[in-house]
Amino acid sequence: MEFYACGNLDSVMSRTPRPVKHTGRRPGPNTTRELIADTARKQFAALGYDRTSMRQVAHAAEVDPTLVAHYFGTKLDLFLAVVELPIDPVVLIDWVVSGDAEGAGTRLATAVLDVLDDEVRRRPMVGMIRAATAEPEAARRVRDFLTRNILLPIAQRLEANHPEYRAGLVMSQIVGVTVARYIVGIEPLATHPRDLVAADLGATLQRYLLGELSR
């Protein structure tokens, strides 16, 4: 069952922004900002976070490099401003906590793998994790987004004890699987059937979400 095809989960997928069209008139401030954002989005998708530079974005957008910093600040600020995650937190949380509590871990694992196994939707997720390993501020923002906005609310709505700790454990598994299966490509995990990985990952997530914890 595809994550984006479950019930009202169609809204989980981000829509691809329409390219900015320019007339013969010199672009104004708003149009220039949109042009830089659209160019940066394509650069990050094609090259990844590490290999994309502010100067590259400026060159591809045919603008002065100082304008990129003027509108967006640092490279991290630019990345976070233009990357569109293929997950709607509200829809994901509702889907995971719906139904029987015993299946919450499997539903979360299936949702995560459905996103990561799609090359287009995987890019921003992998980009965020790569950025988090390169810059402490990126790591903090990734933690805030994934843990505080998605995983912690899931644990709280499941009425689990120690929800913050449980959310951290779940986060460790999701990041670990992303790195091992999709970035490093550890075999046989990298090519193992998704349904089987979802079942095994789901069992671990279920324990982390609602299972007994060590005292």
* Domain definitions of the chain by residue range: 3-10+84-210, 29-82
Q: Are the folds of 3-10+84-210 and 29-82 the same? A: no
Cβ neighbourhood burial of 206 (10 Å; 0-12, 13-18, 19+): buried
Tell the CATH topology of 29-82.
Answer: Arc Repressor Mutant, subunit A (1.10.10)
pLDDT of 67 higher than 60: yes
Q: What is the pLDDT of residue 8?
A: 44
Tokens of 46: 């094609």
pLDDT tens string 161-172: 999 999 999 999
pLDDT of 176 higher than 80: yes
Q: What is the pLDDT of residue 119?
A: 85
Contact 127, 79 (CB under 8 A): yes
Name the average pLDDT for the chain: 84
Mean pLDDT, range 131-139, rounded to an integer: 79
pLDDT of 23 higher than 80: no
**What percentage of the chain reaches a pLDDT higher than 70?**
87
Mean pLDDT, range 27-43, rounded to an integer: 83
Mean pLDDT, range 7-24, rounded to an integer: 41
- Concatenating the DSSP letter of every residue in 93-144 gives HHHHHSS-GGGHHHHHHHHHHHHHTSHHHHHHHHHHHHHHHH-HHHHHHHHI
Options 1.10.357.10, 1.10.10.10, 1.20.1290.10, 1.10.3720.10; CATH for 3-10+84-210 is 1.10.357.10
With tokens 């139904």, the residue in question is: 99
Q: Is 185 helix (H, G, I), strand (E, B) or coil?
A: coil
